[in-house]
Amino acid sequence: MSDLTQFSAARPPDTPRWFQPRTFLAGFAGALVLLSVAGAWLGRQDRHPGFTRFHPFISPEAQYYPTIAEMCAIVRTHCRPNQVLVIVGGNSIFYGVGQPADKMWTRRLQELLGDRYCVVNLAFRGASAADGAAVVAEVLRDEFPRQIYVANVGPMQGIDPVGSDPYRFIFWEAYYKGLLMDYAPRTRYIAQHFRNDARDRRAHPEIIGRVWLDRLLHFRDLWNYVTMEWICTIPSAYQPALPQVHWPRQRFADTEPDFVDIPWASRFRRDLASTELGIVRGFTESYYHRDGEGPWQLAEWKRKDVDTYIRLAMPEALRRRTLIIVSKNSPYYVDQLAPGERERDDQGYRDTLEIWRGAGYHAATYPNDFAAADYGDRTHLTVTGGRKLAGMVADDVRAIAAECGYQATP
């Protein structure tokens, strides 16, 4: 028998116990309250100094999931209340793939629009026009009433009103936290979405549960802060080895390469030419038919499909201040289409613009002066292409601002 056991056997019965249940419960509850308050406070702080865009290290590609509060904080840091807020969303084209941060197209857009406007690029690679940036724009509708949302889509490309799968977490957060406008058609669509989408139907209680818990405890904001500022505890393919795996994400800069530094032959690979051409054809191929050499006709079901979804994606009041740009493919590929395919492609753009405009959006596509050199690959723009894009978007943004009566003061 050890000395300690002998002592224990001899201890008086009123020795205080090491574990005090009441203290534990009070401490546990108090700590959760403190963590929740800290998370709520940290969520409102901008932890992205020098923010350019959501580059891979601070996006779901590297297991970093920004919160609504975090994205709103970025906007608040950049935009003064007397400026017209221009939120840019969409996919990798509007994100600026192939354009270094100091030459990205939205920086040029800011220069062209001047200090009366504030441009914030919240596009994600692989996102849609209804993803994160659109959600943030809607959440900030009252705080920044003078705002314009700009995003891109492909021809004949509709959008899912709840966003695309990798970025849907942003929509669910805003929706279940009650941050979005009350829009009955969208609410009905969401109910239908959970009936039709087997995976989301199974996950529905979990989605609601975790948003509810996060609303209460703010764990995403707090631990995103820790990940950004102190230590990263989530491995990702972008920093798989030690010590980088634990570096705070703030240490990783936006290092987007410049397309012009990549040889042309690597960007327009001959062995992938037929695949790329197939993608170009694919935008319209399945939806059009014609009799003989007559005009190309869009299948009515497709027209209805796109029209229905884009109307569900946004309340009408928000559509009026939304600019949709229908992105084009590089002339390097488009010029290789057969004449009939080319006509169908052109018709696809005209019909896409008509559908978006018919639903109450502003819509445009690139002018015809975009040359092959303005593209870094089939669809992404080089710095020169980005400058052209900025020029056309700036004109459209000014026109929408005037139409909406935004009187920004410098």
Partner 1 sequence: MKTLQTLFSYLPPRLAMLAGHALSLAVAVLTAVVLHYVLYRIDIPGKPFIYVAF
Give me the residues that bind partner 1 (CB under 8 A), please: 4-5, 7-8, 11-12, 14-21, 23-28, 30-32, 35, 56, 60-63, 65, 92, 97, 125-126, 166, 210, 213-214, 217, 219-220, 222-223, 233-234, 236-237, 279, 377, 379-380
CA 119-219-168 angle, to 5 degrees, is 55
Q: For residue 201, give Cα distances in angstroms to 164, 175, 194, 197, 302.
A: 16, 16, 5, 6, 26
CB closer to partner 1, 196 vs 233: 233
Calpha distance 10→12 (Å, rounded)? 7
Let me know: does 55 contact 87? Beta carbons within 8 Å. no
CB closer to partner 1, 28 vs 367: 28
Calpha distance 393→382 (Å, rounded)? 16
Q: What is the smallest separation between the CB atom of 358 and partner 1, expressed in angstroms?
A: 27
Q: What is the smallest separation between the CB atom of 198 and partner 1, expressed in angstroms?
A: 17
Give the residue among 182, 180, 176, 181 at the shortest CA–CA distance from 213. 176
Token pair belonging to 88: 């840019």
Q: What is the smallest separation between the CB atom of 212 and partner 1, expressed in angstroms?
A: 11
Place of tokens 């009123």: 14
CB closer to partner 1, 22 vs 369: 22
Calpha distance 73→69 (Å, rounded)? 6
Could you tell me how many residues make up the chain?
Answer: 410
CB closer to partner 1, 4 vs 198: 4
Q: What is the smallest separation between the CB atom of 35 and partner 1, expressed in angstroms?
A: 5
DSSP-derived 3-state class of residue 87 = strand
CB closer to partner 1, 110 vs 327: 327
CB closer to partner 1, 214 vs 341: 214
Q: What is the smallest separation between the CB atom of 24 and partner 1, expressed in angstroms?
A: 4
Q: Nearest 10 degrees: CA dihedral of 122, 170, 234, 227?
A: 60
Q: What is the smallest separation between the CB atom of 213 and partner 1, expressed in angstroms?
A: 6
